[in-house]
Amino acid sequence: MTASCAPGRANASPRRWLSATLLFIAIAAPAAAAEPILVPIDDAKLLQLPERAATVVVGNPLIADLSIQPGGLAVITGKGYGATNFIVLDRAGVVLSEQTVEVTLPSGKIVVVYRGADRETYSCTPDCSRRITLGDGNEYFDKTLAQTANRDAQATAAGSKASGH
């Protein structure tokens, strides 16, 4: 028994199979996801937006907020723990980019004190002082927030008196 095949046909089948497989992989494989942007809670990061960026849509502004600045810069601020995304569009509504933002634990020297189920957070840079952080006990959070608001109001009032307004 002898095998016969037309010239050039013996190699055509594997080439077609390889081409079809590569095409299928290219279509079926999801695009490689970009690494998420990590932003510590209460911190900000600068990001260069793509050219022609006109609109930014933030998935959940309670987790991260994004504001567009002159020169194509954006400021991403970590507002709450978790992950969200943002989508950058041009004037025609074409998607220029989509990124995931993960808001992480606070940066710096942080001490967390647990008193039963209640939590208190302190920033120790260099001395330990109260810090308002999501997840702190309600009483601690509210007292610290009230002190901060009172201090800010007094500083604003003192600044207004000093400038003659």
pTM, to two decimals: 0.65
E strands, the chain, in order: 37-40, 44-48, 55-58, 64-69, 73-78, 82-89, 95-104, 110-115, 118-124, 128-131
19 pLDDT band, cuts 50/70/90, is: low
List pLDDT tens digits, range 92-139.
999 999 999 999 988 889 999 999 999 999 999 889 999 888 899 999
C-alpha 45, offset from chain centre? 9
Are the beta carbons of 115 and 109 closer than 8 angstroms? Answer: no
Residue 107 has what pLDDT? 81
Domain boundaries, the chain: 37-104, 110-154
List pLDDT tens digits, range 57-99.
999 999 999 998 989 999 999 999 999 999 999 999 999 999 9
Strand partners, 84: 101
Residue 97 has what pLDDT? 94
Instruction: Return the DSSP state at 4.
Output: -
Q: Which CATH superfamily is domain 37-104 in?
A: E set domains; domain 4 (2.60.40.1380)
